[in-house]
């Protein structure tokens, strides 16, 4: 969990910084020209431009982390796939099938929900 978290924080920091660097300066200049305060500029010009990218990147990294945790568990590093490897080692095939089904359903639901949220915010 620590390895996935550190990698995600670093990657999200880089992606967030790029998102902020690529904002359109026009709305900021327009608000400054009419005398808006710093917080008004942030609320009405910066946040609406960066929020969709921030949410999209965060959801995408969450999806990647869930899949990575499953794979790491299967290879023995703990995580979501750990119960699967324990069931396999004890040759409890009914349990293996149920765990696989739950992992597939969970990843599919996460993918569908995050896709719907991303379509809605962009």
The DSSP call for residue 77 is S
pTM passes above 0.85: no
**What beta strand segments (E) does 36-90 contain?**
none
Please report, for the domain that includes residue 87, its CATH number: 1.10.3720.10
pLDDT for residue 114: 86
Which two tokens mark 41? 């500029």
- Round to whole Å and give the CA distance between 3 and 65: 10
For residue 13, the enclosing domain spans: 2-121
| Higher per-residue confidence, 85 vs 49 | 49
Q: What is the number of domains present in the chain?
A: 1
List, for residues 31-74, the tens digit of each pLDDT value. 999 999 999 999 999 999 999 899 989 988 988 888 888 888 77
Could you give the angle at the alpha carbon of 71 between the alpha carbons of 69 and 75, nearest 5°?
115
The rounded distance, in Å, linking the Cα atoms of 103 and 51 is 30
Nearest-CA neighbor of 48 among 14, 23, 16? 23
- pLDDT category at 85 given cuts 50, 70, 90 is confident
Beta-carbon neighbour count of residue 42 at 10 Å?
Answer: 14
Residues 6 or more apart whose CB falls under 8 angstroms from that of 6 comprise: none
Task: Kindly state the helix (H) or strand (E) to which residue 78 belongs, with its residue range.
Answer: none
CA–CA dist 12, 8 (Å, integer) = 6
């Amino acid at each position: 969990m620590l390895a996935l978290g550190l990698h995600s924080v670093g990657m999200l920091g880089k992606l967030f910084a790029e998102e902020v660097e690529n904002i359109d300066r026009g709305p900021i200049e327009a608000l400054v020209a009419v005398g808006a305060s710093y917080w008004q500029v942030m609320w009405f010009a910066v946040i609406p431009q960066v929020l969709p990218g921030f949410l999209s990147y965060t959801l995408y990294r969450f999806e990647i982390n869930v899949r990575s945790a499953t794979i790491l568990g299967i290879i023995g590093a703990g995580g979501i796939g750990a119960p699967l490897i324990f069931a396999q080692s004890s040759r409890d095939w009914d349990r293996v099938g149920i765990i696989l089904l739950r992992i597939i359903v969970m990843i599919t639901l996460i993918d569908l929900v995050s896709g719907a949220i991303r379509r809605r915010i962009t």
